[in-house]
Structure 1
């Protein structure tokens, strides 16, 4: 079964970046939400992000028409999202390999699928999903990045990572390799949970405590989105 959900989204290049390569979308009937942050020269990053979001949403929609997506369990939903991300990876990799305009393009992606008693989170790269529950903000994803690898191996602290010159180097992205393994996780759901999907365009400039403060500041999700972008 599906929960009644409310969603809002906003994407902006901000005050630092020259162009905006973030793309987001939602499928309200399926309670499915997705964000991608592209990379690559010229407009290639934007193309990668758009194509990835388009491919994944198309597969989720097609699946929901053929089978009642609302009734699917955890394993079935995980398999669907995993397959959709892998298909997007194949599409982007093929485009990059066959057209020099798109050579080397890729994108991060994070997806959230909400059900009455659980959620499925999936991600590739350093775009993140957070959960706000009882005034506590928790990351539900772990970055596929050089900095995170060094932190997990004990070679760097979280504090040192903030000033690490290569903190934006990611170790996994959609479209860079011929095959990919997304990270998928399942979590329980509680009434009142709030979820945030965001790229490093937010997390590089706004720390977790400030993100939490803004999420708690207003019940209107559109205004919250605007507050976060303004930071």
Structure 2
């Protein structure tokens, strides 16, 4: 877990845990910010779920997080002077992922054990978001829905696409989403970093309001935690004295107590303004 300096313009919380079943934590989570000349903060947060076992999966997820951290701190600040920095970021993050993929393949060959990782990367700047994603970790946007009753006025939208076999079957109308959630092959990935030279990251962008919250998590969380329970937690968080960090820790603990069989990782971010 890597957190750089205090984020002045954001409420946030990141948390990761081995869980009660696994012997090591192959997940990694990261958050950091930089400022432009006018004081606007760009935030980046990452959830990476490694695979390959001890000394492989954890190294893989740590490798991508470390590479993103170094690149973000050294290369991205000049991009904030551009009219729309996400155009440059999209090009550069693609090159970074290519480099990370080659590094992981090479290191895996040295170890004699393939090491892979997912990478769900979220950038927030002013009122715009940009996402680069590969694998089956997820990024959600939680927004107020004024058309709903007060007790149901939040909606949870998944912004990323799972690069998994079951989601591919859902797209082809060969499985329903309900069947995919219980399918024995639900953990089979079609894309991740570190396994093959060919991959195609999912990228998307959009806008957000000051009421919106972004929620990132590994599959160890969402495979066990009901979406309705997550929304109820966010509703309870609004207007309470609980910090986002405390809430993130509570979600991870709750997921473990619900019977999570994998590492559990979350990142929560919302603007202060």
Q: Same fold (TM over 0.5)?
A: yes
Structure-1 residue corresponding to 2:179: 160
Structure-2 residue corresponding to 1:49: 61
* Pair 1:28-2:33 in alignment: yes
Structure-2 residue corresponding to 1:108: 118
Q: Indicate if the aligned counterparts of 2:118 and 2:135 stay in contact, CA closer than 8 A.
A: yes
2-side partners of 1:63 and 1:139: how far apart?
A: 29
1-side partners of 2:43 and 2:139: how far apart?
A: 15
Larger RCO, structure (CA 8 Å, separation 6 or more): 2
**Alignment partner of 2:11: what SS?**
coil
Q: Structure 1 86/6 Cα, relative in aligned 2: closer, same or farther at 3 Å?
A: farther
Q: Over the residues paired in the alignment, what is the CA RMSD in angstroms?
A: 1.8
Deviation at 1:78, TM superposition (A): 1.6
Deviation at 1:121, TM superposition (A): 0.9
Greater percentage in strand: 2
Gaps of 5+ in 1: none
* Pair 1:64-2:83 in alignment: no
* Pair 1:128-2:144 in alignment: no
Query: Aligned to 2:18, which of 2, 7, 13?
Result: 13
Structure-2 residue corresponding to 1:92: 104
Deviations 1:169-222 (A, max 9, x none): 111011111243211100112112111111001011102222222222215211
* Pair 1:222-2:220 in alignment: no
Q: Indicate if the aligned counterparts of 2:79 and 2:88 stay in contact, CA closer than 8 A.
A: no
Deviation at 1:149, TM superposition (A): 0.4
Greater percentage in helix: 1
Q: Indicate if the aligned counterparts of 1:86 and 1:179 stay in contact, CA closer than 8 A.
A: no
Deviation at 1:70, TM superposition (A): 6.0
Query: Aligned to 2:50, which of 34, 38, 47?
Result: 38
Q: Indicate if the aligned counterparts of 1:21 and 1:45 stay in contact, CA closer than 8 A.
A: yes
2-side partners of 1:70 and 1:49: how far apart?
A: 30
Q: Indicate if the aligned counterparts of 1:82 and 1:184 stay in contact, CA closer than 8 A.
A: no
* Alignment size in residue pairs: 227
Structure-1 residue corresponding to 2:213: 194
**Alignment partner of 1:196: what SS?**
strand
Structure-1 residue corresponding to 2:258: none
Q: Structure 1 53/70 Cα, relative in aligned 2: closer, same or farther at 3 Å?
A: farther
Q: Indicate if the aligned counterparts of 1:125 and 1:170 stay in contact, CA closer than 8 A.
A: yes
Q: Determine which structure has more spread, i.e. the larger CA radius of gyration.
A: 2
**Alignment partner of 2:196: what SS?**
coil
Q: TM-score, normalised by structure 2?
A: 0.78
